[in-house]
């Protein structure tokens, strides 16, 4: 009997494919789509921030230090800072500070908070501080809760616009990434945007329908809670029908966990299958629960790869600004103070440099604002890379999970040149094209482009 060597299957070495996400994310067309979406979101938030509804004031924080307690005063504490402080009363803070302190905008507050928490998560990933990462993510959820609870009309309008724009941009990015990953074709910018604009319901419907289903299963539990307010009868009804509440809560929890873990797979599902939102939800939930360990492993690989890629991109952006600044400094000769007035020296931690008062002279003031806009553009490209990487990595993960669960070849993608004629196509390697010609077909018949 001859011993046979074990053969490693293709699926056992799929995870290295995730590292292709960096090369795919820096593709100019994806960055352009992400940058356009980011610009729309930021302009919307900046215009809405003209209302300046967030109270800013002085707030004392008690911190234990050995046997004593140290009092730290934050002179520029926002509502969000107070809301995140355990035991603090945001209502009292607003009522005591609203008439005497300046205000800022909701978008500006959330942006600064999001940047801080993002770098906190990044540091936790590199240091292996899992509790720190969890704490940062929890604070982000609390920040969204604060926005919707204390600034409800603003949050409904802004997050509706942001969700719509980012979902459509994500669909276009996923479509390019899917076709690029399958090596079938590389659609242009206009083709990808056209694909997303023709499927707004599919791209927006997945997360919305998941949220609606959670609320549907939670509604009977809320009604039971309302009935519990009745004297005597209320508590008895709650005790008798609590088991039914557990059943509804179980269904809501299954959808909540699956939709949260599989949220990033919904846009790739539309990009790959050209399907509706219900099919996208079905695919994402089935892949999460069918292979949870693989899904978790792929996600961890993507997070680590994304963190390293972001540091590399940020380093490149810093070197770009730093090199420009140094050459300008040489050109200004002995008049470095003018350059420092117009453009504070950028650092790796802060591309805009240390905050300071704008110059009084109109020419210096205008030059400082123009420099700030160009630096913000560099920061925007960096953030656009994060958006592009997120959707590109999830597109690859979707293909790997589909191959794991359904056994679908990685090269298979659904192309629909028109609504009337659409069929799933599996693209063959280039070596198999002569066979199609030998059977009477033409090379053009084996490929379909949008």
pLDDT, greater one: 348 or 336: 348
Q: How far apart are CA 400 and CA 14, in angstroms?
A: 7
Q: How far apart are CA 302 and CA 125, in angstroms?
A: 12
Predicted pLDDT of residue 44: 95
264-278, 310-324, 326-340: lowest mean pLDDT where?
326-340
Distance of alpha carbon 261 from the chain centroid: 13
CA neighbor of 247 nearest in space, from 224, 280, 263, 230 = 224
pLDDT, greater one: 315 or 359: 315
pLDDT digits (tens, 9 = 90+) for 212-258: 999 999 898 888 888 888 887 778 888 888 888 899 999 999 998 88
Spatial CB neighbours of 170, under 8 Å, sequence gap ≥ 6:
203, 267, 387, 390, 391
pLDDT at 12 over 90: no
Q: How far apart are CA 382 and CA 387, in angstroms?
A: 9
pLDDT at 187 over 80: no
List the chain domain ranges. Answer: 17-53+151-415
Q: How far apart are CA 140 and CA 138, in angstroms?
A: 5
157-161, 216-220, 334-338: lowest mean pLDDT where?
334-338
Instruction: Provide, rounded to the nearest whole percent, the portion of the chain with pLDDT above 70.
Output: 82
Q: Where does the pLDDT of residue 440 fall: very low under 50, low under 70, confident under 90, or very high at 90 and above?
A: very low
Check residue 315 and report its DSSP letter.
Answer: H
Q: Where does the pLDDT of residue 319 fall: very low under 50, low under 70, confident under 90, or very high at 90 and above?
A: very high
Helix locations, 182-291, DSSP H: 189-197, 200-227, 233-240, 242-261, 263-273, 277-290
Mean pLDDT of 73-83: 77
Q: Where does the pLDDT of residue 174 fall: very low under 50, low under 70, confident under 90, or very high at 90 and above?
A: very high
pLDDT, greater one: 9 or 353: 353
Predicted pLDDT of residue 449: 38
Predicted pLDDT of residue 184: 58
Predicted pLDDT of residue 185: 66
Mean pLDDT of the chain: 81
Mean pLDDT of 316-329: 91
Mean pLDDT of 129-153: 90
pLDDT at 127 over 70: yes
Instruction: Kindly report whether the global pTM for this prediction surpasses the value 0.85.
Output: no
Instruction: Provide, rounded to the nearest whole percent, the portion of the chain with pLDDT above 90.
Output: 32
CA neighbor of 332 nearest in space, from 341, 347, 378 = 341
Predicted pLDDT of residue 14: 72
Q: How far apart are CA 406 and CA 286, in angstroms?
A: 10
Predicted pLDDT of residue 61: 56
Q: Where does the pLDDT of residue 107 fall: very low under 50, low under 70, confident under 90, or very high at 90 and above?
A: very high
Q: Phi then psi for 89, rounded to 5 degrees?
A: -105, 105
Predicted pLDDT of residue 438: 41
31-35, 88-92, 390-394: lowest mean pLDDT where?
88-92
Mean pLDDT of 326-352: 82
- Total residues found in the chain within this entry: 450
pLDDT digits (tens, 9 = 90+) for 44-53: 999 999 988 8
pLDDT, greater one: 45 or 429: 45
Predicted pLDDT of residue 364: 83
Helix locations, 49-151, DSSP H: 79-84, 90-97, 106-127, 130-150
Predicted pLDDT of residue 311: 93
pLDDT at 374 over 60: yes
pLDDT at 65 over 90: no
Q: How far apart are CA 104 and CA 99, in angstroms?
A: 14
Predicted pLDDT of residue 152: 92
Q: Per DSSP, what are the bridge partners of residue 63?
A: 70
pLDDT at 192 over 90: no
């Amino acid at each position: 009997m001859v011993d046979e060597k074990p053969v490693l299957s293709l699926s056992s070495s799929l995870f290295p494919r995730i590292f292709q996400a960096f090369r795919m994310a820096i593709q100019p067309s994806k960055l352009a789509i992400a940058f356009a979406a980011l610009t729309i979101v930021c302009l919307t938030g900046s215009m809405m921030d003209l209302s300046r509804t967030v109270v800013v004031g002085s707030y004392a924080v008690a911190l234990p230090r050995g046997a004593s307690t140290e009092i730290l005063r934050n002179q520029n504490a926002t509502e969000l800072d107070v809301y995140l402080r355990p035991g603090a009363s945001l209502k009292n803070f607003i009522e005591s500070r609203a008439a005497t302190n300046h205000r800022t905008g909701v978008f500006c507050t959330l942006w600064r908070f999001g940047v801080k928490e993002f770098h906190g998560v990044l540091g936790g990933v590199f240091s292996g501080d899992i509790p720190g990462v969890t704490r940062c993510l929890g604070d982000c959820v609390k920040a969204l809760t604060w926005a919707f609870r204390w600034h409800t009309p603003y949050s409904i309008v802004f997050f509706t616009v942001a969700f719509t724009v980012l979902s459509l941009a994500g669909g276009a990015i996923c479509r390019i990434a899917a076709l690029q990953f399958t090596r079938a074709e590389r659609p242009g910018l206009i083709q990808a945007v056209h694909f997303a604009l023709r499927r707004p319901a599919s791209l927006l419907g997945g997360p919305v329908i998941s949220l609606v289903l959670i609320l549907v299963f939670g509604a009977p539990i809320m009604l039971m809670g309302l009935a519990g307010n009745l004297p005597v009868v209320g508590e008895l009804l709650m005790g008798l029908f609590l088991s039914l509440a557990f059943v509804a809560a179980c269904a809501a929890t299954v959808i909540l966990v699956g939709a949260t873990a599989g949220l990033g797979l919904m846009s790739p599902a539309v990009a790959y299958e050209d399907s509706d939102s219900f099919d996208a939800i079905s695919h994402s939930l089935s892949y999460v629960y069918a292979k949870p360990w693989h899904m978790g492993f792929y996600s961890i690989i993507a997070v680590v790869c994304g963190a390293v890629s972001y540091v590399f991109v940020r380093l490149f952006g810093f070197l770009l600004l730093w090199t420009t600044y140094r050459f300008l400094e040489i050109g200004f000769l002995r008049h470095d103070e003018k350059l420092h007035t117009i453009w504070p020296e950028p650092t790796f931690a802060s591309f805009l440099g240390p905050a300071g008062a704008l110059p009084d002279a109109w020419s210096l003031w205008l030059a400082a604002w123009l420099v700030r806009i160009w630096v913000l553009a560099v920061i925007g490209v960096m953030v656009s890379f994060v958006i592009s990487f997120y959707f590109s990595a999830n597109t690859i993960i979707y293909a790997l999970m589909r191959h794991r669960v359904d056994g679908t070849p990685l090269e298979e993608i659904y192309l629909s040149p028109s609504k009337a004629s659409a069929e799933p196509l599996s693209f063959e390697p280039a070596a198999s094209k002569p066979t199609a010609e030998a059977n009477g077909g033409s090379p053009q018949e084996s490929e379909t482009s949008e």
